[in-house]
Amino acid sequence: MSAALGLAGAAVVVAAAARRAPVGRRPLPRPAPPAAPGRGALDRLGAPLARRLGVPTTAGTARLLAAGLLGGLVLVPLAAPVGVALPAGAAVRAVLQARRRRRDADRAVLQTLPDAVDLLLLATVAGTGLALAQGAVAAKVPGPVGVALRRAEDLASRGTPRADALVASLGPLGERAAALGHVLADHLRYGTPLAPELDRLGLELRLHRRRRAEEEARRVPVRLLAPLVACTLPAFAVLTVVPLLVASLQRLPA
């Protein structure tokens, strides 16, 4: 009887040991997934202010506006003019930064959109379909235009009609990019000839880019006027007027 109980106890111990995984083969614990970046208090406070000012609600803009507002509230009891000027300065800086970003984006679109149209025309004339040409051109064109074409390709791969994806992606870049989106969409929807429309649109875009370049070239002398005056006039005064004044003062009778 005791022998039977001993054998049963040994079997239970062996079974428990078999169920337990060896120490050397224990699976490593999986790393916890990184937490999604949350919005801080400054971002939550500055986002409504950015929307009121009509500027993009980016993290940097929201934090700038929130920091200016909080700093103004702290400084108002101590120095009212500084407390009022601080949030006003933050708002002006946010608006200027938004205008600068918008201007840079428009300039990038103006520079790269004619090249994108020419590449699409070249691919079309070579017999490449729009679905293949779009991905190839998106990989070659930098800036916002390439990003918009890649976004349209991504939307099309997820099931969105390619015509709608092109119009939705190119539309926010301006009326000329939207015109390209509608040309491509009409080709996909109604089968309109693509090469003549791309040729006409490319010619218009190249002429517009040339006119803008000529305007920028005419503005160069005006922009150089202030640095030239600020740097040339002091040097001219030091080299010509100051020696004459020193010589005249030396010749005066004591």
pLDDT of residue 201: 95
pLDDT in tens, 196-224: 999 999 999 999 999 999 999 998 888 88
* Higher pLDDT pick, 171 / 27: 171
CA dist 88 and 99 (Å) reads: 17
* Mean pLDDT of all residues belonging to the chain: 79
pLDDT in tens, 81-91: 777 787 888 78
* Higher pLDDT pick, 11 / 103: 103
Which sequence spans correspond to the domains of the chain?
111-210
SS3 sequence of the chain: CHHHHHHHHHHHHHHHHHHCCCHHHCCCCCCCCCCCCCCCHHHHHHHHHHHHHCCCCCHHHHHHHHHHHHHHHHHCCCCHHHHHHHHHHHHHHHHHHHHHHHHHHHHHHHHHHHHHHHHHHHHHHCCCCHHHHHHHHHHHCCHHHHHHHHHHHHHHHCCCCHHHHHHHHHHHHCHHHHHHHHHHHHHHHHCCCHHHHHHHHHHHHHHHHHHHHHHHHHHHHHHHHHHHHHHHHHHHHHHHHHHHHHHHHHHCCC
pLDDT of residue 17: 39
pLDDT of residue 159: 92
pLDDT of residue 20: 41
pLDDT of residue 254: 60
Q: Is the pLDDT of residue 42 over 60?
A: yes
Model-level pTM?
0.67
Average pLDDT score over residue span 237-251: 81
* Higher pLDDT pick, 229 / 170: 170
Residue 44's pLDDT band, with cuts at 50, 70 and 90, is: confident
Average pLDDT score over residue span 62-82: 77
Residue 39's pLDDT band, with cuts at 50, 70 and 90, is: low
How many CB atoms sit inside 10 A of residue 16's CB?
9
pLDDT of residue 156: 93
pLDDT of residue 73: 77
pLDDT in tens, 4-31: 433 334 343 334 434 444 444 344 344 3
pLDDT of residue 92: 84
pLDDT in tens, 115-163: 999 999 999 999 989 999 999 999 999 989 999 999 999 999 999 999 9
